[in-house]
Structure 1
Amino acid sequence: MEVEVKIEVINEKDRAVFDELVAGVRQHKYENMGPEETLPLSVVARDEDGKVIGGVSGQTIYRNFLIDVMWVDKKTRDTGLGRRLMELAEAEAKKRGCLVAQLDTLSYQAPDFYQKLGFEIVGTVPAFPGSPARHFMIKNYQ
């Protein structure tokens, strides 16, 4: 018996569709990895006025620290703030039992910075017209 399928293109953010897709991915993940919830992990630096001047944000799950974003304001770059933020975030990830940290960065962003912190490039999407190279990096804590 053939199932009728309707396929559509949606050119706007549809939270309900996104949530259904995530639910499907989670169910598949639970079937293969067991039920573990993602826990958010952020370390943020603020100036004397309370303005965010840098931070690291991601999540931990299945002994992985998945880093989504790391940023330091131009005024505080090259002061060691980025290193301190990463070290604090990684220390918390290790307390949670993480064995690795993962991230991706564009070639013009910070691959050298991460390599100085012990991350290794494990994959690269080469640059193409209109897009710089994208590096996927990992750091083992073992």
Structure 2
Amino acid sequence: MSIEQIPYKENREAALAGLEAHTVEKLPDLDMRYEEVSFVYKENDAITGRIVGHIHWDHLSVELFFLEENARGKGIGTKLLKEIEKVALEKQCKYAFLETMSFNAPVFYQKNGYHIMAQIENSPAEGETRYFMKKDF
């Protein structure tokens, strides 16, 4: 017996294939879709905001969301979030899911209809909190 370290991408792809085959076996009628979704917000040809996520099964997962400092507090984040949620609604997703940190934007997400499902105190650093948030559609 041995445990070996192998390249991330190779291992991820093999693990994903195995998990998907297992899921299809257990839930043969489940829509196994996976669609990447990505938007940028431009102002005068300069990108000031980015949002990246994917639609998987019945939900939208917001993976990355970033606004340049000069774009914050101007409604740009809400516009980007609504745009990616619009795609999720068109694809008949039931909810959106994301992870954020106390030093990022949990209040912003709450103002946009997300609620905290779980949190981890003192992560990623002492005095900070990691939040797992969901919005039902």
- Report the TM-score when normalising by structure 2: 0.87
- Equivalent position of 2:22 in the other structure: 28
What does residue range 66-77 of structure 1 map to in structure 2 within 5 Å?
66-77=61-72
Equivalent residue in structure 2 for 1:87, among 82, 103, 110: 82
- Equivalent position of 1:41 in the other structure: 37
C-alpha deviation, 1:129, in angstroms: 7.5
What does residue range 99-114 of structure 1 map to in structure 2 within 5 Å?
99-114=94-109
Secondary structure of the residue that 2:4 maps to in structure 1? Answer: coil
Q: Which blocks of at least 5 consecutive residues in structure 2 are unaligned?
A: none
8 A contact 2:123–2:130 mirrored in 1: no
Count of residues in correspondence between the two structures: 134
Q: Which blocks of at least 5 consecutive residues in structure 1 are unaligned?
A: none
- Report the TM-score when normalising by structure 1: 0.84
Q: Which amino acid aligns with 1:48?
A: N
Structure with greater proportional strand content: 2
Larger radius of gyration: 1
8 A contact 2:116–2:131 mirrored in 1: yes
Computed over aligned residues only, the root mean square deviation of the Cα atoms, in angstroms, reads 1.8
Q: Which amino acid aligns with 1:134?
A: R
